[in-house]
Amino acid sequence: MTVLVIAEHDNAALNDATRAAVTAAQAMGGDVHVLVAGKGAKAVADAAAKLDGVKTVLHADADALDKRLAEAMETLVLSIADRYDAILAPATTGGKNFMPRIAAKLDVAMISDITSVESADTFVRPIYAGNAMMTVKSKDPKKVITVRPTTFEKAGDGGSASVEALDAPAPAAASKFVKEELSKSDRPELAQAKIVVSGGRGMGSGENFAIIEKVADKLGAAVGASRAAVDAGFVPNDYQVGQTGKVVAPELYIAVGISGAIQHLAGMKDSKVIVAINKDEEAPIFQVADYGLVADLFKAIPELEEELGKAGY
């Protein structure tokens, strides 16, 4: 069998989520090809060619592929779908946007956000905000799958795939990119950080997030937030961790002033070590925390910063 992985990137660099999808593709067996669709994304195609286990990289370069809008990805992927038994993409907002469109045109089910590959046609995926794990067997001739990046190892470098050019057909329907407002941050990306420090409603205000940011900067950590903190306008929405935000699985997750609603836990309970700092000792977050500190965060967080300083951070 042959498996196609659609690369996630920003036209300049390959996103690590792609590496997880390549690992999932290898677990299905057979040859792995990677599609790099973009505008001026040659560097990404070259990076994809170095991925372990990748045999061929298809590189489509066109203005219409600049932002990988779903309507353009649909016709591009359909033009080569015949060659593949399975098509995978990371379950990023990009993959989630265009993959179901492709599945529908191929008349196959969408298999979303898989966390494990059992065999070439059997997969595990979370349902009910991660409160149940469903094993499904696909009866479709072709599988269209998005891969949860946090649960697969990231494929390393060491391959030397050939890069082939691919023509991009016209998009399937009329949609235009207007603009983008990206959050600027010098910190590591939330989904890829080894340490995440998140604040919730208990932070009280956006200004108060500064005390979390100080701790995060000491640890080289990313800053996250609960939905309550985002809805209250403390931080932008792309900080949100949870069922409707990002799913993270860092080595260390520090939840500050977060009660631990089901929807938030869905986004972080696969973290290796979870720390909860909350003044309510009944907060549900303590049921999943490895280390819990019942304390006022406005006292505990500056203290934590100080202790980290003493520990050489």
Partner 1 sequence: MKILVPVKRVVDYNVKVRVKPDQSGVDLANVKMSMNPFCEIAVEEAIRLKEKGLAEEIIAVSIGPAQAQETIRTALAMGADRGVHVTTDATVEPLAVAKILKAVAEEEQPGLIILGKQAIDDDTNATGQMLAALLGWPQATFASKVEKDGDALNVTREIDGGLQTLNVALPAIVTTDLRLNEPRYASLPNIMKAKRKPIDAKTPEDYGVDITPRLEVLKVAEPPKRQAGVKVESVADLVAKLKNAGVL
Known binding-site residues equal 201, 226-227, 240-244, 257-264, 278
Which residue's CB is nearer to partner 1, number 70 or number 161? 70
Which residue's CB is nearer to partner 1, number 161 or number 301? 301
**In angstroms, what is the minimal distance from the CB of 55 to partner 1?**
28
Centre a 10 Å sphere on the Cβ of residue 282 and count the other Cβ atoms it contains: 9
Which residue's CB is nearer to partner 1, number 163 or number 262? 262
**In angstroms, what is the minimal distance from the CB of 26 to partner 1?**
22
Q: Could you give the angle at the alpha carbon of 60 between the alpha carbons of 54 and 66, nearest 5°?
A: 120
List binding-site positions for FAD. Answer: 201, 226-227, 240-244, 257-264, 278
Which residue's CB is nearer to partner 1, number 159 or number 224? 224
Kind and range of the H or E run holding 60:
strand 54-61
Coil vs helix vs strand at 143: strand
**In angstroms, what is the minimal distance from the CB of 162 to partner 1?**
30
Measured CA distances, 65 to 76, 100, 132, 192 (Å):
9, 18, 37, 25
**In angstroms, what is the minimal distance from the CB of 155 to partner 1?**
20
Please state, in angstroms and rounded to a whole number, the distance separating the CA atoms of residues 101 and 70: 7
Kind and range of the H or E run holding 73:
helix 70-78
Tokens for 28, please give them.
């299905």
Which residue's CB is nearer to partner 1, number 2 or number 97? 97
**In angstroms, what is the minimal distance from the CB of 240 to partner 1?**
9
Q: Which residue has the tokens 């990289």?
A: 57
Which residue's CB is nearer to partner 1, number 43 or number 110? 110
Centre a 10 Å sphere on the Cβ of residue 307 and count the other Cβ atoms it contains: 12
Strand order in the sheet with 54-61: 110-114, 143-147, 86-90, 2-6, 31-38, 54-61, 162-166
**In angstroms, what is the minimal distance from the CB of 53 to partner 1?**
25
Coil vs helix vs strand at 76: helix
**In angstroms, what is the minimal distance from the CB of 243 to partner 1?**
7
Centre a 10 Å sphere on the Cβ of residue 181 and count the other Cβ atoms it contains: 6
Which of 39, 40, 43 has its CA nearest to residue 15?
43
Which residue's CB is nearer to partner 1, number 32 or number 228? 228
